Amino acid sequence: MELRQQAGALVYRLCNDQKIEILLVTSKKKGYWSIPKGHIEPGEKMPSAAAREALEEAGIKGEVSIHSLGSYVKKKFS
Protein backbone atom coordinates (compact mmCIF):
# COMPACT_ATOMS: atom_id res chain seq x y z
CA MET A 1 0.00 0.00 0.00
CA GLU A 2 1.36 3.41 -1.00
CA LEU A 3 1.27 6.12 1.66
CA ARG A 4 0.71 9.68 0.44
CA GLN A 5 1.26 12.57 2.80
CA GLN A 6 -1.37 15.30 3.00
CA ALA A 7 -1.63 18.58 4.87
CA GLY A 8 -4.76 19.89 6.53
CA ALA A 9 -5.81 23.14 8.16
CA LEU A 10 -7.77 23.27 11.40
CA VAL A 11 -9.45 26.63 10.76
CA TYR A 12 -11.05 28.25 13.80
CA ARG A 13 -12.09 31.59 15.22
CA LEU A 14 -12.74 32.85 18.72
CA CYS A 15 -16.12 34.59 18.90
CA ASN A 16 -17.04 37.58 21.08
CA ASP A 17 -18.72 35.26 23.60
CA GLN A 18 -15.41 33.30 23.88
CA LYS A 19 -16.82 30.28 22.03
CA ILE A 20 -14.62 28.66 19.40
CA GLU A 21 -16.04 27.96 15.94
CA ILE A 22 -14.32 25.38 13.72
CA LEU A 23 -14.65 25.39 9.93
CA LEU A 24 -15.56 22.11 8.24
CA VAL A 25 -16.07 21.39 4.54
CA THR A 26 -18.00 18.58 2.87
CA SER A 27 -16.49 16.09 0.44
CA LYS A 28 -17.71 16.21 -3.15
CA LYS A 29 -18.20 12.47 -3.54
CA LYS A 30 -19.59 11.20 -0.25
CA GLY A 31 -20.80 14.33 1.54
CA TYR A 32 -18.96 13.73 4.81
CA TRP A 33 -17.58 16.59 6.92
CA SER A 34 -13.83 17.18 7.16
CA ILE A 35 -11.19 19.85 7.62
CA PRO A 36 -9.72 21.37 4.43
CA LYS A 37 -6.86 19.07 3.41
CA GLY A 38 -5.04 17.72 0.41
CA HIS A 39 -1.82 16.56 -1.15
CA ILE A 40 1.46 18.38 -0.68
CA GLU A 41 2.96 19.59 -3.96
CA PRO A 42 6.62 18.71 -4.72
CA GLY A 43 8.91 21.11 -2.85
CA GLU A 44 6.03 22.57 -0.82
CA LYS A 45 6.28 22.86 2.98
CA MET A 46 3.45 21.47 5.11
CA PRO A 47 2.26 24.87 6.50
CA SER A 48 2.13 26.30 2.96
CA ALA A 49 0.19 23.27 1.74
CA ALA A 50 -2.29 23.61 4.62
CA ALA A 51 -2.83 27.31 3.83
CA ARG A 52 -3.28 26.55 0.11
CA GLU A 53 -5.83 23.83 0.84
CA ALA A 54 -7.82 26.13 3.16
CA LEU A 55 -7.91 28.75 0.40
CA GLU A 56 -8.76 26.27 -2.38
CA GLU A 57 -11.43 24.33 -0.50
CA ALA A 58 -13.00 27.03 1.69
CA GLY A 59 -11.82 30.42 0.41
CA ILE A 60 -10.17 31.12 3.78
CA LYS A 61 -6.95 33.09 4.33
CA GLY A 62 -5.28 33.53 7.70
CA GLU A 63 -2.27 32.90 9.90
CA VAL A 64 -0.76 29.42 9.78
CA SER A 65 0.88 27.92 12.84
CA ILE A 66 4.04 25.99 12.15
CA HIS A 67 3.20 23.59 14.97
CA SER A 68 1.75 20.26 13.93
CA LEU A 69 -1.23 19.04 15.94
CA GLY A 70 -0.50 15.44 15.01
CA SER A 71 -0.81 12.88 12.28
CA TYR A 72 -2.74 9.74 11.45
CA VAL A 73 -2.92 7.03 8.80
CA LYS A 74 -6.17 6.45 6.95
CA LYS A 75 -6.57 3.42 4.72
CA LYS A 76 -8.62 3.87 1.58
CA PHE A 77 -9.98 0.86 -0.22
CA SER A 78 -11.08 0.84 -3.84
| Of 49, 44, 50, residue with least CA distance to 11 | 50
21-77 tens-digit pLDDT: 999 999 888 889 999 999 999 999 989 999 999 999 999 998 888 777 777 777 776
CB atoms within 10 A of CB 54: 25
Whether 35 is in a domain gets the answer yes
CA distance 59 to 52: 9
The answer to the question of residue 74 being in a domain is no
Domain extent at residue 11: 6-58
- Structure pTM? 0.79
Give the CATH number, domain containing residue 24: 3.90.79.10
Number of domains in the chain: 1
